[in-house]
Structure 1
């Protein structure tokens, strides 16, 4: 576990509840096959990515989620161009294509993903910004890289909770990545992701938490019946409204995912961390890095 990433108390056994009814096994297998075909097509087309319109990328991302058997509803829209920090709560691996369906962006991801089969090369060729979670001294460089991409007019997508949660509760947005938006002078675009059943109640089947495996999560999603991904694009926070990253992170927090409590993460809990470092002021980044190296 990283010393500067939070843990979530959510676990597959304690939080994830499969849907009451499941589709037939052949249908679930067909769904997974559809996802695989779309992902392989993306691998083939990645070298041509710079010539593919953003609208086509957004449609492909929605197709991936639909192929897994999850309906998609997106309310609102993000600016189609210009530097933008996209931030969202984190529940599932489905969040990645859902956030890219709002606006294609460079994703901040843990360095371990680079070694994953298929997903690793796809993420690397797609422009993911990898972060080494176990190196505190890498934090200033990561913030500077994000700010540089934002200044060049790119969109960068981050899950500032730093860990996935089950969806009934959520973590607190960590502040460090918001420093990049302040340094680059770009807006922050908050996005709220929720998963529901056909009855409108919260669904935890898509959650990818704790020691859950990707294969188990894929099967749980593909075999579920009538899941809905509800994506709400909240009003952007313009540059200059907040000059402190603490206030900016609080303003970007999209509120409770399902009306449940926001829990503090206990120590020693294994997390499915993907994206965000522990909040540290930029002025103290170098100091904390040197202090960690001496300890």
Structure 2
């Protein structure tokens, strides 16, 4: 019954997203960001997911702009982060094809990368630099490139770190850890052959999911891209293992 009830609420919530997408076509970007933020908050409430923040939270919530660097576990990561603060994501081009969520991503100003096309990387870095120059909003990247099982942090790819150097932005490490009954869990992981519906079903069957989001100390882009990526990957992995 719990799953059925959540499914009904989720269906209505997705319908609301369609209405928002239509309305946001004519709305200013800052207003659209606030509307999507409230939509994301409501999504987490429907799924009964509790958020716990730790670390240097004010660094993330203030008006400064960063290149936010996060581990990646689930499709939930994006609404989780967006529920706290409107932010621009660099996402794979596949997300554009997702029903409704893809529309929200495009309207929110997401920057899409096609990992099957080498020239896409340069275009994405240029788009990131343009965003930093013209918008007072942070950008979030998931340098693992794929989602993990939630128990570990995969090696970071350093290519997108280039934007921090070119736009002269601090990097802000952010770690995401999902727990169930106070124990780290892979219930929310969205990797392998798992479909979006299968993932939703697994998540909706629990009322005990807590996500611990830890914000680290801002890092200056003074090292090489590779050294930076290793440094941040290790820092985030340490938070996950605790």
Q: TM-score, normalised by structure 1?
A: 0.72
* In 2: Cα distance, 1:55 partner to 1:118 partner: 17
Matching of residue 69 in structure 1 with residue 48 in structure 2: yes
Matching of residue 96 in structure 1 with residue 78 in structure 2: yes
Matching of residue 247 in structure 1 with residue 227 in structure 2: yes
Larger radius of gyration: 1
Cα 1:80–1:59, aligned 2, differ >3 Å: closer, same or farther?
A: farther
Q: CA deviation at 1:187?
A: 1.0
Tell me the residue number matched to 2:21.
Answer: 43
Task: Please list every run of 5 or more consecutive structure 2 residues that lacks an aligned counterpart in the other structure.
Answer: none
Per-residue CA deviation, residues 89-132 of structure 1 (Å, 9 max, x unaligned), is 00001100112234311211111222232222221111111111
Contact kept, 8 Å, 2:175 with 2:240, in 1: the verdict is no
Tell me the residue number matched to 2:149.
Answer: 166
* In 2: Cα distance, 1:250 partner to 1:59 partner: 34
- Corresponding residue pairs, total: 235
Secondary structure at 1:255's aligned position in 2?
helix
Q: CA deviation at 1:138?
A: 2.3
Q: CA deviation at 1:220?
A: 1.1
Contact kept, 8 Å, 1:182 with 1:243, in 2: the verdict is no
Q: TM-score, normalised by structure 2?
A: 0.86
Q: CA deviation at 1:81?
A: 2.8
Per-residue CA deviation, residues 235-276 of structure 1 (Å, 9 max, x unaligned), is 222x35x2311222223221246429xxxxxxxxxxxxxxxx
* In 2: Cα distance, 1:249 partner to 1:212 partner: 28
Q: Which has the higher contact order (CA 8 A, sep 6+)?
A: 1
* In 1: Cα distance, 2:188 partner to 2:160 partner: 26
Contact kept, 8 Å, 2:179 with 2:212, in 1: the verdict is yes
Cα 1:244–1:127, aligned 2, differ >3 Å: closer, same or farther?
A: same
Matching of residue 201 in structure 1 with residue 180 in structure 2: no
* In 2: Cα distance, 1:186 partner to 1:66 partner: 33
Per-residue CA deviation, residues 148-195 of structure 1 (Å, 9 max, x unaligned), is 212334321111100001111220121011111111001111111111
Contact kept, 8 Å, 1:34 with 1:67, in 2: the verdict is no
Tell me the residue number matched to 1:221.
Answer: 203
Secondary structure at 2:241's aligned position in 1?
coil
* In 2: Cα distance, 1:104 partner to 1:51 partner: 9
Q: CA deviation at 1:57?
A: 5.0
* In 1: Cα distance, 2:194 partner to 2:122 partner: 31
Choose 180-189 or 130-139, whichever is displaced more: 130-139
Q: CA deviation at 1:38?
A: 5.1
